[in-house]
């Protein structure tokens, strides 16, 4: 199967680097130097222009930013749609299936919301399919994104919330790690040791939350012995409303995704 990437940025490279060997990869990008780098690293086939990539692929990944989508769609409108429909996957936040369907009539369209940890194969991607997409066709898309982490399938109406949580969430976690590192340094640890301890602590806590049946509250209380050091820290976090801030950040990012969607009529 031939998979074509329109846009060859970091997320495209994350997918390209881990795709099963039975996929043939084609890519187009305005940055020819970037394309040359990917050809050298992965042996993919670079083509001149988005229409050439569209024509070459059985699956076409629209790996462009939302603000670029209108221009890309306008260019593809003049492509030959008379042949067998292609599976079109958009990873642009906030661009709705309805709009994509109008721009690319007759095509099999799926929206995907991957996240930053896909860069190291530890991401999670949410998929929402258009009405014409059959289970077998969605399975193809599922297989592509499973190469870079976990996959969930859900209704499109949930994608704005997904964007706010798992799409934007890694940035919030990185900021939390920065805070842990800063606290460790302030308490007397060298920078690199503080970073190692902070990163491994976050990884360990996440794996524990994933692999045990305990609720998050139960896990927190296991660490927070009455009168102990953790309780002292949690009191400070309550003072600064850390949990409320995270919840508000997710909501704000989801609302921004919805606002982007509203621009595509």
**Residue ranges of the binding site:** 6-11, 50, 63-66
Residues 6+ apart with CB under 8 A from 214: 222
Residue 39 to residue 56: CA distance in whole angstroms: 16
Exposure class string for 59-81: b at 16+ Cβ within 10 A, else e: bbbbbbebeebeebbeebeebee
Strand partners, 110: 89, 129
- In angstroms, how far is the first alpha carbon of the chain from the final one? 33
Residues contributing to the annotated binding site for NADPH: 50
Feature table: binding site for NADP(+)? 6-11, 63-66
- Beta strands 108-113 and 123-129: pairing type? antiparallel
């Amino acid at each position: 199967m031939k998979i074509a990437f329109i846009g060859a940025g970091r997320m495209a490279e994350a997918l390209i680097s881990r795709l099963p060997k039975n996929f043939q990869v084609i890519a187009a990008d305005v940055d020819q130097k970037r394309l040359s780098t990917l050809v050298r690293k992965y042996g993919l086939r670079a083509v001149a222009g988005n229409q050439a990539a569209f024509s070459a692929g059985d699956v076409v990944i629209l790996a462009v930013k939302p603000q670029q989508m209108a221009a890309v769609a306008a260019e593809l409108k003049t492509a030959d749609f008379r042949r067998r429909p292609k599976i079109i996957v958009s990873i642009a936040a906030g661009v709705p299936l309805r709009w994509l369907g109008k721009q690319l009539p007759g095509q099999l369209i799926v929206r995907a919301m991957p996240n930053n940890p896909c860069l190291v194969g530890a991401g999670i991607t949410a998929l929402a399919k258009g009405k014409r997409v059959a289970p077998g066709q969605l399975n193809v898309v599922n297989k592509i994104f499973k190469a870079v982490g976990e996959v969930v399938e859900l209704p499109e109406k949930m994608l704005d919330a997904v964007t706010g949580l798992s799409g934007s969430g890694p940035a919030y976690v990185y900021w939390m790690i920065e805070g842990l590192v800063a606290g460790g340094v302030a308490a007397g640890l060298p920078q690199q040791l503080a970073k190692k301890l902070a990163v491994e602590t976050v990884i360990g806590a996440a794996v524990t939350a994933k692999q045990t049946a305990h609720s998050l509250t139960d896990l927190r209380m296991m660490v927070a012995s009455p009168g102990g050091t953790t309780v002292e820290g949690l009191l400070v976090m309550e003072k600064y409303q850390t949990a409320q801030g995270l919840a508000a950040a997710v909501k704000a990012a989801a609302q921004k995704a919805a606002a982007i969607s509203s621009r595509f009529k």
